[in-house]
Amino acid sequence: MAVLHDLIHLFYPESCPGCTNSLVDGEQRICLDCLSRLPKTGYASIHDNKVARLFWGRVDLAKATAVYFFEKDSRLQGLIHALKYMGQGKLGLYLGRLMAQELDRSHWLDDIDILVPVPLHSKKKRHRGFNQAEMIARGIAGFKLPWEERALKRIRHSSSQTKKSRIQRWDNMNSIMAPGKSVKQIVGRHVLLVDDIVTTGATLEACAHVLLEQGAAKVSICTLACTFT
Ligand SMILES: [Zn+2]
């Protein structure tokens, strides 16, 4: 699936990364068929949704949501693959704008003061050329909200997580995030943490702890997709 996407993109750069069909006039970045079929969670209007529950007892969040359900071999997987591994950073801005439209329906963004993307390790960011969470956050922010990518800093890779015990993993995650250069921007404000996908929530949890310790008034979480339904 992934290799096919890469090959098709190489020869037909104007194809939809969700389904690999060619884009027609009037379609931007994603075809209308994929746009209409992205599986929405509707979680923005459900306060105790599954994403919010994932963090219960772990970190005190004002609210949490994911906009779409992530399924293997789905159109959304194609989009996320294009964003992360095929250098389509602008697709992140586009997806962020789509998310903002969905969130605005239930006025979910109205009480947010500033957006903070989950940081990538600087080496990984150099390799990829951009941080996909930052592109999504910028898309959500639009002209309405400020965003600050240097509020947090990832201090090392969180690789080979699966081979560690639960306690080792917890320790590992809690020492991967640190305050960044611009952490003062979040003091006394309602911060929205943004990432592409939530699975275990460990990285987002580590970020939220740092933001609260550093004086954020409230922290909320929003991701493009969640891996559970
Ligand atoms: Zn498509």
Q: How far apart are CA 170 and CA 57, in angstroms?
A: 14
Q: Quick one: DSSP state of residue 85?
A: H
Please say whether the beta carbons of 38 and 87 come within 8 A: no
Tell me: pLDDT of 177 over 60: yes
Span from the CA of 133 to the centroid of ligand 1 (angstroms): 22
Dist CA 60 CA 137 (whole Å): 21
Q: Which two tokens stand for residue 126?
A: 């150099």
Compute the radius of gyration of the chain from its Cα atoms.
17
pLDDT in tens, 38-52: 999 999 999 999 999
- Report the separation in Å between the CA atom of 28 and the middle of ligand 1, taken as the mean of its atom positions: 10
Q: Which residues pair with 226 in a beta bridge?
A: 69, 198
Dist. CA 102 → ligand 1 center (Å):
19
Q: What is the pLDDT of residues 211-225, one digit of tens each?
A: 999 999 999 999 999
Distance CA 118, CA 151 (A): 9
Could you tell me the distance, in angstroms and rounded to a whole number, from the CA of residue 175 to the centre of ligand 1?
40
How far, in Å, from the CA of 36 to the mean position of ligand 1? 9
- Residue 153 to residue 173: CA distance in whole angstroms: 13
Helix 75-85 / helix 2-11 crossing angle, nearest 10 deg: 70
Residues for the chain: how many in total?
A: 229
> What spacing in Å lies between the alpha carbon of 26 and ligand 1's midpoint?
13
Q: What is the mean pLDDT of residues 57-79?
A: 96
Whole-angstrom distance, CA of residue 24 vs CA of residue 41: 28
**Predicted pLDDT of residue 143:** 85
Averaged confidence pLDDT in the chain: 90
